[in-house]
Amino acid sequence: MAPSLEASTEPDSVADVLANPLKQKPNLVAPEPEHCPGPESQQAGKADSCAGCPNQAICATAPKGPDPDIPLITARLSGVKHKILILSGKGGVGKSTFTSLLAHAFATNAEQTVGVMDTDICGPSIPKMLGVESETIHVSSNGWSPAWAMDNLAVMSIQFMLPNRDDAIIWRGPKKNGLIKQFLKDVEWGDLDFLLVDTPPGTSDEHLSVNTYLKESGIDGAVMVTTPQEVSLLDVRKEIDFCRKAGIKVLGLVENMSGFVCPKCTHESEIFKATTGGGRKLAEEMGIAFLGSVPLDPRIGMACDYGESFFDSFPDSPACAALKGVVKGLATEMGLDPTVVMPEEDGA
């Protein structure tokens, strides 16, 4: 039986308070009086100065202190070795596509188990790309069971909870925050080598929620995805600034769709010309690692449409070689042995 999508009781998030973004200042019905202990204080609504204040009941019942579910999330994810966020700030740069490719790349090593958490609540495309669109969530005494795209690749997405795959998700921030918490607290992820978190564009509710809930259990860092154009680089700069303010390590930057690879002759042409130096130049400016450029291959879209592994279907594509280089660079930035994370094939 799939869990219901009832309204969450989570408080609204406040994007400008990184220390506690999920708790909103109470909506007061009158100005704060003199000697007010503060609506978010532990004494709010209980101090002597609160007697007779129109806000007393509001302040007394407002959430206070750290989220009590965070230790539960930390315990649930204790078997996950590495957690990686996929960010951009810009829509249309291929974050979800790159996440699915990265997941398949890690999963080519049969000794590794990979999980993908789709936090793009309003545009869940990961299930389609990984070939599990028709799956549903199963609930047991241990929690929610993720869908398995491969023997070593697990997926969780809101798509599994929709009665119709074309249904729109029309939710405000609190409900999104509540579902993300459930993905972390209630999903039986088990022992994973890598948990990849696919995020929507921007630096808002979903990003703040993931950072807050995972901070105690530890985030290895974030991978930035961009395309060569300055329009994309502008938003990626904001995302890097968000990570630095939120205390998230930037593992590196990937330039996606950096060129077009002809499927027949494998010649690469520059489609999106970099007017300011592209991703490599931005990485130098921001002092982060440049993990590599992934060319545009139309067969990537085909593999995603059919939910197949691009590495299995088109292993000779230049995009495969580029993605393997990205994985090895990412492993190095995480302090892992690239030859263990992405072993060379026999005869390679």
DSSP state of 344: P
The answer to the question of whether 89 is labelled as a binding residue is yes
The answer to the question of whether 218 is labelled as a binding residue is no
The answer to the question of whether 320 is labelled as a binding residue is no
The answer to the question of whether 65 is labelled as a binding residue is no
Q: Identify the CA nearest to 92 among candidates 259, 327, 257.
A: 257
Phi and psi at 292, nearest 5°, equal 140, 170
With H, G, I as helix, E, B as strand and everything else as coil, classify residue 105.
Answer: helix
Extract long-range pairs of 2-6: CB within 8 Å, 24+ residues apart: 2/136, 2/137, 2/138, 2/139, 2/160, 2/161, 3/137, 3/139, 3/144, 3/161, 3/182, 5/161, 5/179
Distance from C-alpha of 11 to C-alpha of 160, rounded to nearest angstrom: 25
The answer to the question of whether 95 is labelled as a binding residue is yes
Q: Which residues contact 316 (CB under 8 A, 6 or more apart)?
A: none
The answer to the question of whether 278 is labelled as a binding residue is no
The answer to the question of whether 262 is labelled as a binding residue is yes
The answer to the question of whether 155 is labelled as a binding residue is no
Count of CA atoms in the C-beta half-sphere (13 A) of 37: 16
The answer to the question of whether 140 is labelled as a binding residue is no
The answer to the question of whether 265 is labelled as a binding residue is yes
In the annotated binding site for ATP, the residues are: 89-96
In the annotated binding site, the residues are: 36, 50, 53, 59, 89-96, 262, 265
In the annotated binding site for [4Fe-4S] cluster, the residues are: 36, 50, 53, 59, 262, 265
